[in-house]
Amino acid sequence: MEEELDNVEEGRENWVKVLDTFYSAFEKRLEVAEEEMKEVEIQDEVSEETCEKCGRPMVYKMGRFGKFLACSGFPDCRNTKPIVKDTGVVCPQCKEGKIVERRSKKGRIFYGCDRYPECDYVLWDKPVDKPCPQCGSLMVEKKNKRAAVVQCVKCGHREEAREAADED
């Protein structure tokens, strides 16, 4: 096949003829594979959480954007929840929610308040559960090629990440 495609590239063979020859054999093999292939059933993994709407246990499901929690009573109950990683840091804006790890539409990790849309606080850097020693504000992890540091979002106070981890 590779030689034939090289010949098509060099103009010695007709690409329609090459693809037709390949696909006619491939189509027969594909039909046989579809007939012999067994149905794969993915079992739901039960979580410790319960559904707020009906009280049944929630299960982990796999969707096109990754894992999520869904009510085991589907289709009667269609309650779903995203799986969030809690950072343990209280939101500095609303003082009620917690900062959780999220993913942007392009798959980049960011951190935001779990009370969204009531609170729209977001960060690109991972927050640290330690207030700034100078101003008491939120500290975040900043990583670069040389070293990891912890930096205040307000006053810019910086510490080495190892020092901040030792103080915990």
The count of C-alpha atoms lying within 13 angstroms of the C-alpha of 16, restricted to the half-sphere facing its C-beta, is 0
Higher-scoring residue by pLDDT: 155, 167:
155
Of all helices (H) and strands (E), which one includes residue 35? helix 15-36
Please, what sign has the CA dihedral across residues 6, 7, 11, 15? negative
Check whether 73 has a pLDDT greater than 80: yes
- pLDDT band with cut points at 50, 70 and 90 for residue 162: low
SS3 168: coil
Residue 52's CB is within 10 A of a number of other CB atoms, namely 11
Please, what sign has the CA dihedral across residues 129, 132, 138, 144? negative
Matching residue, tokens 């929630």: 58
Supply 112's token pair. 């935001």
Q: State mean pLDDT over 115-141.
A: 86
**% the chain with pLDDT above 90:** 12
SS3 86: strand
Check whether 163 has a pLDDT greater than 80: no
- pLDDT band with cut points at 50, 70 and 90 for residue 58: very high
Matching residue, tokens 């070293």: 147
> What's the pLDDT at 161?
67
> What's the pLDDT at 93?
87
Matching residue, tokens 């006619």: 24
The pLDDT tens digits of the residues spanning 80-101 come to 988 888 888 888 888 888 999 8
